[in-house]
């Protein structure tokens, strides 16, 4: 009973403090700014500055490794797989196929449309190569999330917020601040703000730098360069054309050679999520593709464009499906076939800027949430703040957040992942698979949840430091 | 806020099973007070209760008639100089005092100017811009004093403020504090060395084992010193004879002779050192005894406290 009474008294005291501060806003801001300015001076010492640089550089270094060491290796593997398949097809059909591996998205090429029939001895459809293009961008987005908001920001908050109270007790400086009017409030709030600034600024540098290094490869307009005489391109014109879920594409072919080329065939193949509105009557060939246009003669430098309409039937989220463009023309000694595919989106395709903005926003919310969380753990266990914070991070944020159960919703990681997925899914085409892997369900209320969580943590921290007696005897235990 | 400067009613503070302050009752009017007691007497606990950093387990604490716990209004009128250092080593003394002053509300420039003024007042004009890590202990003490008085409090609570100061520094700080008191402000100053605060105030509270043993002026404390059992050592010729005379006249409770460094020493235990001190010169002259040296072996504060504690427990 006395505990409840004591707690109620402390809550009342806290509210009194807050009310007094609200009544004297200028004094409040001056006190808070004084602590912030002083703490910023303290965290810019060489030792702390080293850690800031480390937290900021860490995602950039890993991004560099991914971009310049891992990715070339993956691309080489793709190239080898494609060459291997080409050789198999040439053996079967004696036909030359050129598949540029460096542009556009090739995943999904191996999918057969319903009803496709393969004859013995005919070319096998290509198996899906490792992800590239929009999948590559998704992977980099997830990697940058893990490196930035998830690890760097958490580390930054851990370094500054966790020992915020313990350090004052250790060096016996607590008493000087605690014997000032609202000194404890200013101290906790000021240190929290500095921790958020410290962690967020380092992560901002890390995420932005990492994103610039990773870049973006996916482009909704597909253009296939190469040594061939004809240039094939496929582009999404707009998000819809009057009817819901109906999209327009343009398929273009340009003769880049000095002589006319005869008998050029443009074909398309698609995944099962949608159908081709204006080509529905055309039958599929043995590769599962439909003839779009047969061009008798294409003069030197001449371009021929054809519009195609598609109707989404099983669109999931922002993604409609994949379209594969194919072009065949006779060439000596063997005919040439050019194949490429792109992902079709309902809304605007992802932009590099949007991805970076969402990652930075996630980092900001991570800094807010983790700083508050570590502050309250530091207030509860000032003697072993770091140990308890690390244990909580591993147990709750590491393991619990990845459990496929409702309990993972109590973790900050879950909220951050949901925020990221929600915004990139709507605007940028992070696939359902990525969402499933991250165990999230999208939701626009994540920032609100994070802000409420941080406010509760801050309030509890203040209650703890206001009610606990940090005196000489207590300090000696730290 | 009104009322007496400090009111303590049966205040008890426990650290688990250890008693910090034990049933302490006192009522102090505005003025300067010395809180005197040996190490571990409970002085710091009492000061922490007065600043609201501790809450008593039993009893009631009032400063200017108000509960000091989480009392911002009271804290703005109180300056506190704790016994331990706790200064940020990487910042300058001026920056630190400015920060603490800003928490009272003044804007940065005003706070900076006042902090500078206080640092000069405590004799830190040459070192105030240096990092605190380069300060000597005396300089740190001066800086601590500057932060306690920077916001112009009406009550300063000082825990061992002269610790680490050289005699010159001690005299300078005493002058600063005396001026503060002369301006009509109050001071509660804790120390385990009586003469450190004698120069500042005549009012003492003697505390030991968390209890208030005695209170009064310096003269009253000296009287107390004289009236408590004490031991006197005499280096003289014919010590056995002198001891016999003193026992016969009931001026001492016991007399014994020991040999130390080849000299015979008479050790006397008396209940009334003042009476002995008054009668001894006449006895020495009457009996033509040659006294080489006379000392009281337990004139320290600790001895006084030990004696007071014995009285308190009813052992004497």
Rank A111-125, A374-388, B219-233 by mean pLDDT and report only the highest: A374-388
In the CATH scheme, what is the code of domain B229-313? 3.30.70.260
ipTM of the complex: 0.78
In the predicted model, is pLDDT for residue A475 greater than 50?
Answer: no
B299-311 confidence digits (pLDDT tens) = 555 566 666 666 6
Cα–Cα distances in Å, from A367 out to A193, A196, A361, A382?
10, 5, 10, 21
A237 and A315 co-located in one domain: yes
A166 and A296 co-located in one domain: no
In a domain, A65, yes or no: no
* Banded model confidence at residue A93, pLDDT cuts 50, 70, 90: low
Task: Tell me whether A460 touches chain B (CB under 8 Å).
Answer: no
* Banded model confidence at residue B58, pLDDT cuts 50, 70, 90: very high
Rank A163-172, A238-247, A419-428 by mean pLDDT and report only the highest: A163-172
Adjacent-strand bridge partners of B220:
none
Q: Which of A171, A179, A473 is the closest to B51 by Cβ?
A: A179
- Using alpha carbons, select from A130, A137, A149, A97 the residue that is nearest to residue A329: A97
- Using alpha carbons, select from A392, A399, A394 the residue that is nearest to residue A373: A392
Query: How far apart (Å, rounded) are the C-alpha atoms in residues A192 and A420?
Result: 24
> pLDDT over 90 for what percent of chain A?
23
| Residue reference for tokens 């949840």 | A449
A358 and A471 co-located in one domain: yes
Q: Which of A38, A181, A472 is the closest to B104 by Cβ?
A: A181
Query: How far apart (Å, rounded) are the C-alpha atoms in residues B187 and B205?
Result: 13
Q: What is the average pLDDT score of chain B? A: 86
**3-state helix/strand/coil string of B174-231:** HHHHHHHHHCCCEEEEEECCHHHHHCCCCCEEEEECCEEEEEECHHHHHHHHHHCCEE
Query: How far apart (Å, rounded) are the C-alpha atoms in residues B37 and A102?
Result: 84
Query: How far apart (Å, rounded) are the C-alpha atoms in residues A201 and A51?
Result: 12
Task: Tell me whether A182 touches chain B (CB under 8 Å).
Answer: yes
In the CATH scheme, what is the code of domain B6-77+153-224? 3.40.50.300
Query: How far apart (Å, rounded) are the C-alpha atoms in residues A370 and A364?
Result: 10
Mean pLDDT of B277-304: 79
DSSP state, residue A411: S
Q: Which of A31, A173, A179 is the closest to B105 by Cβ?
A: A31
Identify the closest residue of chain B to A172 by CA–CA distance: B86
B160 close to B170: Cβ distance less than 8 angstroms? no
B122-173 confidence digits (pLDDT tens) = 999 888 999 999 999 899 999 999 999 999 999 999 998 888 888 888 888 9
Query: How far apart (Å, rounded) are the C-alpha atoms in residues A230 and A207?
Result: 40
A6's CB contacts (< 8 A; 6+ apart) are A467
Q: Which of A45, A175, A182 is the closest to B82 by Cβ?
A: A175
A30-66 confidence digits (pLDDT tens) = 888 899 988 888 888 888 889 999 999 999 999 999 8
Q: Tell me the chain A residues in contact with residue B99 when contact means C-beta distances shorter than 8 Å.
A: 34-35, 38
Q: What is the pLDDT of residue A420?
A: 86
In the predicted model, is pLDDT for residue B7 greater than 60?
Answer: yes
A298's CB contacts (< 8 A; 6+ apart) are A230, A253, A255, A260, A261, A262, A264, A304
Q: What is the pLDDT of residue A350?
A: 57
* Pairing mode, strands A319-329 and A261-270: antiparallel
In the predicted model, is pLDDT for residue A474 greater than 80?
Answer: no
Mutate to test the interface with B, among A179, A188, A189, A190 (most CBs of B within 10 A): A179
DSSP state, residue A397: I
In a domain, A75, yes or no: no
Identify the closest residue of chain B to A178 by CA–CA distance: B53
Pick the last residue of a domain from A320, A345, A370: A345
A20 and A160 co-located in one domain: yes
B251 close to B276: Cβ distance less than 8 angstroms? yes
Q: What is the pLDDT of residue A75?
A: 75
A194-245 confidence digits (pLDDT tens) = 999 999 999 999 999 998 888 766 555 555 544 566 777 777 665 555 556 6
Residues of chain B with a CB closer than 8 angstroms to some CB in chain A: 15, 20, 44-45, 48, 51-55, 70, 72-73, 75-76, 78, 80, 82-88, 90-91, 95, 99-100, 102-108, 111, 147
A107 and A180 co-located in one domain: no
Task: Tell me whether A179 touches chain B (CB under 8 Å).
Answer: yes
- How many whole angstroms from its chain centre is CA A459? 32
- Between A231 and B240, the higher pLDDT residue: B240
Number of domains forming the structure of chain A? 2
A277 and A402 co-located in one domain: no
CB contact under 8 A, B88 and A178: no
- Between B10 and B315, the higher pLDDT residue: B10
CA distance B10 to chain A (A): 20
CB contact under 8 A, B86 and A471: no
Q: What is the pLDDT of residue B47?
A: 92
Pick the last residue of a domain from A328, A345, A362: A345
Q: What tokens does B312 get?
A: 């308190």
* Other Cβ atoms within 10 Å of B103 Cβ, number: 28
Mean pLDDT of A391-420: 87
CA distance A414 to chain B (A): 38
CB contact under 8 A, A42 and B95: no
CA distance A146 to chain B (A): 35
Q: What tokens does A357 get?
A: 């903005």
A315-328 confidence digits (pLDDT tens) = 555 666 777 788 88
3-state class (DSSP) for residue A24: coil
In the predicted model, is pLDDT for residue B120 greater than 60?
Answer: yes
Pick the last residue of a domain from A345, A371, A391: A345
Mean pLDDT of A300-308: 85
Q: What is the pLDDT of residue A89?
A: 60
A151 and A10 co-located in one domain: yes
Mutate to test the interface with B, among A181, A188, A464 (most CBs of B within 10 A): A181
A436 and A453 co-located in one domain: yes
Domain ranges of chain B: 6-77+153-224, 229-313
CB contact under 8 A, A173 and B88: yes
Q: Tell me the chain A residues in contact with residue B72 when contact means C-beta distances shorter than 8 Å.
A: 17, 20, 181-182
Q: Tell me the chain A residues in contact with residue B83 when contact means C-beta distances shorter than 8 Å.
A: 472
Query: How far apart (Å, rounded) are the C-alpha atoms in residues A199 and A366?
Result: 9
A289 and A305 co-located in one domain: yes
**Choice among A182-186, A330-334, B59-63, B84-88 with the minimum mean pLDDT:** A330-334
- Between A349 and A441, the higher pLDDT residue: A441
DSSP state, residue A129: P
Query: Residue B106 burial by CB count (10 A; 0-12/13-18/19+): exposed, middle or buried?
Result: buried
A119: CATH: 2.60.40.10
Q: What is the pLDDT of residue A99?
A: 46
In a domain, A330, yes or no: yes
CB contact under 8 A, A182 and B108: no
Q: Which of B90, B95, B108 is the closest to A45 by Cβ?
A: B90
A203 and A299 co-located in one domain: no
A110 and A141 co-located in one domain: no
Residue range(s) defining the domain that contains residue A367: 2-43+137-216+352-475
A200 and A245 co-located in one domain: no
Cα–Cα distances in Å, from A427 out to A45, A346, A350, A430?
41, 9, 6, 9
Q: What is the pLDDT of residue A159?
A: 92
- Between B77 and B198, the higher pLDDT residue: B77
In the predicted model, is pLDDT for residue B186 greater than 90?
Answer: yes
Rank B40-44, B193-197, B218-222, B242-246 by mean pLDDT and report only the highest: B242-246
Size of interface A-B (CB pairs under 8 A): 89
Mean pLDDT of A137-152: 87
């Amino acid at each position: 009973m006395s505990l409840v009474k004591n707690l109620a008294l402390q809550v009342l005291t806290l509210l009194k403090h807050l009310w007094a501060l609200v009544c004297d806003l200028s004094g409040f801001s001056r006190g808070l700014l004084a602590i912030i300015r002083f703490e910023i001076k303290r965290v810019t010492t060489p030792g702390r500055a080293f850690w800031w640089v480390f937290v900021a550089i860490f995602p950039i270094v890993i991004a560099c490794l991914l971009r310049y060491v891992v990715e070339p290796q993956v691309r080489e593997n793709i190239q080898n797989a494609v060459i291997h398949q080409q050789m198999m097809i040439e053996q079967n059909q004696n036909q030359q196929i050129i598949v540029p591996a460096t542009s556009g998205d090739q995943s999904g090429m191996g999918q057969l449309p319903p009803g496709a029939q393969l004859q013995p001895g005919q070319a096998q459809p290509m198996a899906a190569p490792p992800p590239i293009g929009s999948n590559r961008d998704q992977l980099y987005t997830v990697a940058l999330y893990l490196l930035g908001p998830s690890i760097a920001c958490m580390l930054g908050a851990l370094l500054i917020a966790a020992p915020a109270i313990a350090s004052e007790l250790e060096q016996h400086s607590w008493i000087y601040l605690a014997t000032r009017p609202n000194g404890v409030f200013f101290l906790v709030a000021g240190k929290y703000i500095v921790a958020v600034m410290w962690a967020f600024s380092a992560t901002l540098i890390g995420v932005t730098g990492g994103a610039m290094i990773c870049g973006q490869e996916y482009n909704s307009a597909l253009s296939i360069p190469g040594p061939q005489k004809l240039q094939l391109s496929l582009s999404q014109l707009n998000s819809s054309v009057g009817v819901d879920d109906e999209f327009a594409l343009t398929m273009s072919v340009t003769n880049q050679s000095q002589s006319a080329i005869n008998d050029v065939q443009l074909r398309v193949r698609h995944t099962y999520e949608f159908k081709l509105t204006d080509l529905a009557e055309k039958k599929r060939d043995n590769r599962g593709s439909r003839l779009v246009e047969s061009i008798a003669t294409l003069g030197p430098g001449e371009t021929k464009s054809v519009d195609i309409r598609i109707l989404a039937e099983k669109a999931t989220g922002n993604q409609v499906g994949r379209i594969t463009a194919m072009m065949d023309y006779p060439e000596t000694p063997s005919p040439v076939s050019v194949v490429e595919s792109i992902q079709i989106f309902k809304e605007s395709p992802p932009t590099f800027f949007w991805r970076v903005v969402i990652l930075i926003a996630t980092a900001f919310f991570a800094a807010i949430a983790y700083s508050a969380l570590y502050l309250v753990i530091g207030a509860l266990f000032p003697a072993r703040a770091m140990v308890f914070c690390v244990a909580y991070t591993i147990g709750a944020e590491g393991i619990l957040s990845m459990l496929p159960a409702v309990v993972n919703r109590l973790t900050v990681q879950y909220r951050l992942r949901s925020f990221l997925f929600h915004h990139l899914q709507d605007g940028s085409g992070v696939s359902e698979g990525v969402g499933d892997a991250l165990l999230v369900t999208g939701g626009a209320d994540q920032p609100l949840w994070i802000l409420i969580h941080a406010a509760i943590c801050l309030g509890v921290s203040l209650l703890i430091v206001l009610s606990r007696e940090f005196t000489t005897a207590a300090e000696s235990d730290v | 806020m009104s009322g007496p400067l400090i009111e303590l009613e049966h205040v008890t503070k426990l650290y688990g099973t250890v008693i910090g302050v034990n049933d302490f009752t006192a009522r102090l009017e505005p003025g300067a007070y010395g809180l005197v007691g040996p190490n571990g007497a409970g002085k710091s606990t009492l000061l922490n209760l007065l600043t609201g950093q501790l809450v008593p387990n039993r009893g009631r604490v009032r400063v200017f008639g108000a509960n000091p716990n989480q009392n911002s209004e009271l804290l703005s009128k109180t300056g506190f100089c704790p016994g331990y250092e706790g200064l940020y080593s990487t910042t300058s003394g001026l920056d630190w005092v400015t920060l603490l002053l800003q928490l009272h509300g003044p804007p940065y420039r005003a706070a900076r100017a006042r902090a500078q003024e206080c640092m000069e007042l405590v004799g830190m004009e040459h070192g105030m811009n240096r990092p605190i890590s380069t300060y000597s202990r005396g300089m740190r003490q001066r800086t601590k004093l500057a932060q306690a008085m920077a916001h112009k409090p009406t009550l300063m609570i000082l825990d061992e403020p002269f610790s680490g100061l050289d005699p010159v520094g001690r005299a300078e700080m005493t002058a600063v504090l005396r001026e503060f008191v002369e301006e009509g402000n109050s001071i509660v100053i804790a120390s385990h060395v009586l003469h450190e605060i004698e120069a500042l105030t005549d009012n003492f509270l003697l505390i030991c084992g968390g209890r208030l043993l005695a209170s009064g002026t310096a003269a009253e404390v000296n009287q107390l010193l004289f009236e408590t059992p004490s031991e006197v050592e005499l280096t003289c010729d014919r010590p056995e004879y002198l001891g016999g005379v003193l026992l016969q006249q009931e001026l001492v409770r016991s007399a014994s002779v020991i040999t130390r460094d080849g000299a015979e020493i008479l050790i006397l235990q008396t209940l009334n050192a003042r009476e002995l001190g008054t009668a001894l010169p006449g006895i020495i002259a009457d009996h033509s005894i040659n006294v080489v040296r006379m000392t009281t072996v337990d004139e320290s504060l600790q001895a006084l406290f030990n004696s007071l504690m014995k009285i308190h427990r009813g052992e004497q």
